[in-house]
Amino acid sequence: MAWISRYALFHLYYTIPVASLLHFILSPLRTRRDDFKIFFLCAMAFTCSVPWDSYLVRNRIWTYPPASVLGTFFDIPIEECFFFAIQTYITSSLYIILSKRVLKPLHLVAGSRKKWQVTIWTGITGLGFLLGAMMVYEGGRGCYMGLILAWSMPVFGFILYVAGSFILSLPFSFTGLAILFPTIYLCVFDALEIRNGTWTIGKATSTGWKVFRILEIEEAFFFLVTNGMIVFGLIACDKAFSVLDVFPPVTFPSESTLSQLIKSHVVALSFNPSSSHIDVLEELEIASEILKKGSKSFYFASAGFGDRCRITLLNIYAFSRVADDMIDNARSLEDAEVALKDMREYLNTVYSGSPFASGSQTIDDQCGKAPKNIAEEEVPKEYGFPSLGRAPSFVPQDVFMQLVEGLEEDLEFMKLGFQRFGTSIPGANANDNDNSMGARNFGVDAEELLKKLPIQTEEDLIRYCRRVAGTVGQMLVWTTWDAAYCVPPLPLRALGPSSGNKRHNKTAETGTPGWILARASDMGVALQLVNIARDIMEDARSGRIYIPVSWLQKDEEKAFVYFLLSNSQNPDASQFSLPILQRLSLRLVSLAYRYYALASPALGHLPEEYRKGAKLAVAVYMEIGNEIKRREGDVRKRVVLDAKRKLLTGAGVLWGREQYGPFWW
C-alpha cells in the first residue's frame, strides 16, 4: 500500500482546501455559538452516518478497492469517516458565513405564519420515508435510493416539525445556496473519483440513472439530502438561539446548571411565538428598520456582532435615533423640552427596580446581582420611544441620562433663535440670501453672536461629544459584556487588572473595566468628531455650529461661521470661504484621530468574539474621516461611502491588518 491512499488524495485535493478557505473567511467573525453548531453537527453527522454507511458497505451498495484506502472503521474507510466531518464542516461554515448578515430572530415572526406549509412539508417527509422503506423492502435496483430516503426523511421530518416555520421564512437565497453549492461541488468530484475507480456504486442496487450522464442519481441525491440535513440542523440551532435571545425570561434562568441550560435550549427549539410574543418581535423589526434607514454604516457593521449583541445594539440605536430626531425635528422649543422630559420619564420607568437604575450604585454594588428582567409591557406606550429591550438589565441608566443631557445641549442653539423656527439671528442682516459676506457689516454682530454659541472651547466640544457619542461607546461595551458573559458582574471580575490581554497592560489601570469604559467614551468622541466634520453644512442649515469659537482666531474665520449661521437656509461656502471650511473640517478630523489613537488599544480588551464587530463599526465610520482627508476637507457635498468602499474597509478589518488606522499611519 502506498503511503497515501487515493481516497486520502481526494481529501487533500478537493475537500481540505475548500474547508481551509472557508475556515479562513469565517475565522474573524466566528462566535462560540458557531463553534458549538459546527461541533454538534459534526458529532451528529458522524453518529448517524457510521451505522448506515457501514450497512451500505457490508451489503456492497458501494465498494472500494482495499488498496485505495488507509484503513477501516466498522468496514467504512477511515477517509469516509473523515468525509462525514469535513463535508459537515464545509457546509456549516458556508451557511454560517452566508447567514451572518441576516438577523435571524426577525424570522420568528414571519415563521409563525407558515403553519400550513410546514404541515405539508412534514407530510411529504412522512411519505418519503414510507416510499424509501418500501424500496428497501423490495430490494433490487431501488435499494440504494430507498436507503437514502428511509434514513434521511425522519430527520427532515423531525427538524421540520420543531423548526419548520422558521426554516421556511429564512431567505432561500442563502439557505438554498448553502445546500446547493456544496452539493454541486461534491457531485463533480465524486463523479471524477468514480471514473478513476476510487470507489464504485453497486450496479445491482442502484437505478442506473445518471445526472448529466456522469453521476449516479443516488450519489447526487445523497449529497443533496446530507447537505440539506446539515443546513436544516443549523437552522434549528439558530431558531433555539433566536428564541433565547429575544425571550430570555421565558426560558432562560440566569443562574443555570448544565442540565437547565440543555432544557432551556430544547424548550426554545420547540417554542412557537404566540400572539402575545408578536409585539416583541415587531418592536425588533421596527428597530432593525430604523437602523437600516438611519445609518447604512452601522447597519453594515452590525452584522459583525452575534445576534444577541446585535439585538440590543438595534434597540439602543432605535431609542437614541428617535430621541435625537425628536429634538432635531421639534417644531418649537417647548416641543423639544417636552420630548426631553418624556425621555427622562421613560428611562425612569423602564429602569425602575433595575440594579442599574440611576442612584448610588457603584460597579461593585452591581457585582453579584442578577439582572432584572424589565417588563416592557408595563411601560406606557404613549411615550412613543422604541423599546430598549434588555438594555436596562445591564447598561447603567446614568449612561442614557448623559445621552439625554447631550441632546439637551442642542436646545441651546434653538434658544438663540436661529433660523430653526423661521426667525433670524439677532442682529443679522435682513438680506439673508445675500452671499457676499464681504459687503456685510458683520463685525459687531458676529462677535456678539459668537459669544453666545454653546460650544466656546475645545473642552465644550469634547464634553458634548462624550455625552452624545461617548455614551454610545459605553453602551456598546456593556452590551458586549452582557452578550459574552450573560450576567453583568462576570466581566467586571474577568476583566480586572490581573487578567485580560497582558500586552496592553502597560499601566496598573489598563485593561480594567473602568479603563475600557473610558476608552470607549474616547472612541465615541472620535466618531462624533468625524460626524461633525462631515455635517458642518447640514448642521448649519439647522442653525447649529459645533466648531469651538476658540478655534476661530482670524476675522475671516469668524465671518465664515457667522455667514453659515446667518445664511443657514442657503449656506454656500463655495464663494470665498472654502479654504476656511477645509481647514476647520480637517482640524476636526485630526482631533478625531487623536481620540481614535487613544481609544483603539482598548478594542483588544473587549470580549474576544465582539472585537471584530466593534472594529468594523469604528473602521467603517472612521473611513468617512479618511474620505474627508482625501477630499482635503471639502465637505460642501455630504461624504457618503459607497457599498464597495464599505466592503473593502470591512474586509481590511476582518482579514487584513490588526490595527485599523488612517492611510498615512
Ligand X SMILES: CC(C)=CCC/C(C)=C/CC/C(C)=C/CC/C(C)=C/[C@@H]1[C@@H](COP(=O)(O)OP(=O)(O)O)[C@]1(C)CC/C=C(\C)CC/C=C(\C)CCC=C(C)C
Q: Which of 469, 486, 559, 588 binds ligand X (CB under 6 A)?
A: 469
Interacting positions 528-557 with ligand X (CB under 6 A): 528, 531
Residue 239 binds ligand X (CB under 6 A): no
Residue 483 binds ligand X (CB under 6 A): no
Residue that the C-alpha cell 427622562 belongs to: 344
Considering the complex, state which of residue 237 and residue 477 has its C-beta at the smaller distance from ligand X. Answer: 477
Closest CA to 205 of 194, 218, 215: 218
Residue that the C-alpha cell 418624556 belongs to: 342
Alpha-carbon distances, residue 657 vs 297, 504, 652 (angstroms): 20, 18, 6
CA distance 499 to 501: 7
H or E stretch at 85: helix 78-99
Do the Cβ atoms of 234 and 37 come closer than 8 Å? yes
Residue 29 binds ligand X (CB under 6 A): no
Q: Which of 454, 473, 511, 633 binds ligand X (CB under 6 A)?
A: 473
Q: Which of 22, 187, 476, 581 binds ligand X (CB under 6 A)?
A: 476
Residue 303 burial by CB count (10 A; 0-12/13-18/19+): exposed, middle or buried? Answer: middle
Residue 455 binds ligand X (CB under 6 A): no
Residue 347 binds ligand X (CB under 6 A): no
Residue 479 binds ligand X (CB under 6 A): no
Residue 516 binds ligand X (CB under 6 A): yes
Considering the complex, state which of residue 164 and residue 625 has its C-beta at the smaller distance from ligand X. Answer: 625
Least distance (Å) from ligand X to the CB of residue 516? 5
Copy the grid coordinates of residue 61: 451498495
Stretch touching ligand X by CB under 6 A, among 317-325, 412-420, 446-454, 484-492 = 317-325
Considering the complex, state which of residue 49 and residue 528 has its C-beta at the smaller distance from ligand X. Answer: 528
Residue 312 binds ligand X (CB under 6 A): no
What does the buried/exposed string (b/e) look like for 393-424 if buried means 16 or more CB atoms within 10 Å of the residue's CB?
Answer: bbbbbbbbbbbbbbbbbbbebbebbbbbeeeb
Distance of CA 224 to the CA centre of its chain: 30
Q: Which of 162, 168, 301, 484 binds ligand X (CB under 6 A)?
A: 301
Q: Which of 401, 414, 602, 635 binds ligand X (CB under 6 A)?
A: 602
Residue type for position 73: F
Q: Which of 317, 385, 418, 660 binds ligand X (CB under 6 A)?
A: 317
Residue 661 binds ligand X (CB under 6 A): no
Copy the grid coordinates of residue 448: 456678539
CA distance 69 to 66: 6
Helix spans in 331-442 (H): 333-351, 363-366, 397-415
Interaction mask 381-420, ligand X, x per CB under 6 A: ----------------------------------------
Least distance (Å) from ligand X to the CB of residue 571? 19
What does the DSSP assignment read for 512-557? SHHHHHHHHHHHHHHHHHHHHHHTHHHHHHTT---S-GGG--SHHH
Residue 105 binds ligand X (CB under 6 A): no
Considering the complex, state which of residue 301 and residue 565 has its C-beta at the smaller distance from ligand X. Answer: 301
CA distance 471 to 465: 9
Stretch touching ligand X by CB under 6 A, among 355-363, 483-491, 544-552, 613-621 = 613-621
Beta 210-211 vs 215-216: how paired, if at all? antiparallel
Considering the complex, state which of residue 230 and residue 618 has its C-beta at the smaller distance from ligand X. Answer: 618
CA distance 402 to 358: 11
Least distance (Å) from ligand X to the CB of residue 108? 20
Least distance (Å) from ligand X to the CB of residue 85? 35
Residues linked to residue 201 through DSSP beta bridges, in sequence order: 62
Residue 320 binds ligand X (CB under 6 A): yes
Considering the complex, state which of residue 325 and residue 555 has its C-beta at the smaller distance from ligand X. Answer: 325
Residue 462 binds ligand X (CB under 6 A): no
Interacting positions 560-599 with ligand X (CB under 6 A): 599
Stretch touching ligand X by CB under 6 A, among 75-83, 163-171, 191-199, 471-479 = 471-479
| Beta carbons within 8 Å of 650's beta carbon, 6+ residues apart | 300, 301, 304, 616, 619, 620
Interacting positions 175-194 with ligand X (CB under 6 A): none
Q: Which of 22, 143, 316, 628 binds ligand X (CB under 6 A)?
A: 316
Torsion, Cα of 480, 483, 486, 489 (10° steps)? 0
Least distance (Å) from ligand X to the CB of residue 527? 4
- Per CB under 6 A, residues contacting ligand X are 294-295, 297-298, 301-302, 313, 316-317, 320-321, 324, 468-469, 472-473, 476-477, 516, 519-520, 523-524, 527-528, 531, 599, 602-603, 606, 614, 617-618
